[in-house]
Amino acid sequence: MYKTVQGVERGLKILETINEIGCRATCHQISVITGIHRTTVRRYLETLVALNYIQRSADDTFFYLSPNVRKLSDGYRHESVHSPKTLELMNELTAHVMWPADLSTFKLDSMLVIESTHRSSRLSLTTSMIGKRLPMLMTASGKAYLANCSDKQRKYILDILKNGTSLDARLAGDETYLNRVLAETRRKGYGQNSGEWGEYSKIASIAVPVYVQGELFGSLNIIFHRSYMSPDEAAEKFYDYMLEKARLIGESLRI
């Protein structure tokens, strides 16, 4: 049996620790939590910065995960998260509203679609949504998640977005926009978008949060043509039904 490689073990432990801290971390914090000497931690941090898995603050005090870390999970498949019942419930939703639905969960700096009915919906604009990453501040799913997650996680997500290069970077720094979107989403009970994401300028969407054992897991959305109805019109027709399906889907998930 081969011995573990200490360097790999330490590097991964440092990445895990920064993730667990949930925001920008100092070298001292990482050293205390991992039990690795501060000088050694600093050496690993410099290497991870050079590899673009970690970013540092302008004053060289704080370190935080880079969006590049998401490459480490791109090959991970989520089949084990949900059961056949999950897709059955989503297909029932699509049969009722006619439009395709997506189930997504937060991953690093975006919402990751882990299940979808686009492939079975006659009204879908695409058949390949599983694995698609949705911007946090331009999509109904992202807004629904941000409005319902904890204050600590929201700050963590926004810090990542502000310091990243994603489509959300500018919006994450606009407090007026953020406050308006979060207040509107909480008041209505659902996230919405209508052509805000340039890649899908012809569509609109509404999304509700999905909880598993009382903990926020992700969002359930439906997507439709903007010319057919507005998000508010969709919510008037389908909001209550979506909420019930989101509850049942949450019960079907295996976390």
* pLDDT for res 201: 83
Q: Does the pLDDT of residue 171 top 90, yes or no? A: yes
pLDDT of 45-59, one tens digit each? 999 999 988 888 888
What is the Cβ-side half-sphere exposure of residue 147, based on CA atoms within 13 angstroms? 27
Mean pLDDT of 14-39: 87
Average pLDDT, the chain: 87
Assess if residue 71 is contained within a domain.
no
Distance CA 36, CA 192 (A): 45
Place of tokens 């100092």: 26
Residues 53 and 113 in one domain: no
Q: Which domain holds residue 51?
A: 6-65
Judgement on whether residues 115 and 59 belong to the same structural domain of the protein? no
Final residue in a domain of this structure, among 20, 36, 65:
65
> What number of CA atoms fall less than 13 Å from residue 161's CA on the CB side?
27
Mean pLDDT, range 7-21, rounded to an integer: 87
CATH number at residue 11: 1.10.10.10
Q: Which of the four pLDDT bands, split at 50, 70 and 90, describes residue 23? A: low
Nearest to 219 by CA among 231, 209, 211: 209
pLDDT at 60 > cutoff 90: no
* 78 part of a folded domain: no
Q: Is residue 70 part of a domain?
A: no
Count of domains for the chain:
2
| Local confidence band at 123 (pLDDT 50, 70, 90 cut-offs) | low
- Same domain for 41 and 163, yes or no, is no
Residues 144-156, mean pLDDT to the nearest whole number? 95
Scan for tokens 């969960």, then name that residue: 105
Predicted confidence (pLDDT) at residue 76 exceeds the cutoff of 60: no
| SS3 state of residue 114 | strand
Query: Residue 79 pLDDT > 50, yes or no?
Result: no
User: Could you give the CA distance from residue 130 to residue 115 in angstroms, rounded to a whole number?
Assistant: 6
The pair of three-digit structure tokens given for residue 39, joined into one six-digit string: 């000088």
Q: Does residue 142 share a domain with residue 37? A: no
Q: Which two tokens stand for residue 226?
A: 């903007």
Same structural domain for residues 91 and 21? no
Please give the average per-residue pLDDT across 32-41, as a whole number.
93
- Please state, in angstroms and rounded to a whole number, the distance separating the CA atoms of residues 77 and 99: 25
Q: Which of 25-29, 73-77, 203-207 has the highest mean pLDDT?
A: 203-207
Express as a percent the part of the chain with pLDDT over 70: 89
Q: How far, CA to CA in Å, does 199 sit from each of 78, 133, 138, 196, 204?
A: 25, 12, 11, 9, 12
The span from the CA of 172 to the CA of 163, in Å, is: 9
For residue 173, pLDDT over 50 is answered with: yes
Q: Measuring CA to CA, which residue among 20, 43, 39, 44 is closest to residue 28?
A: 39
Tokens of 74: 């791109």
At 69 the pLDDT is 73
Same domain, yes or no: 101 and 60: no
- Asked if 169 and 102 sit in the same domain, the reply is yes
Give the pLDDT band (50/70/90) at residue 73. low
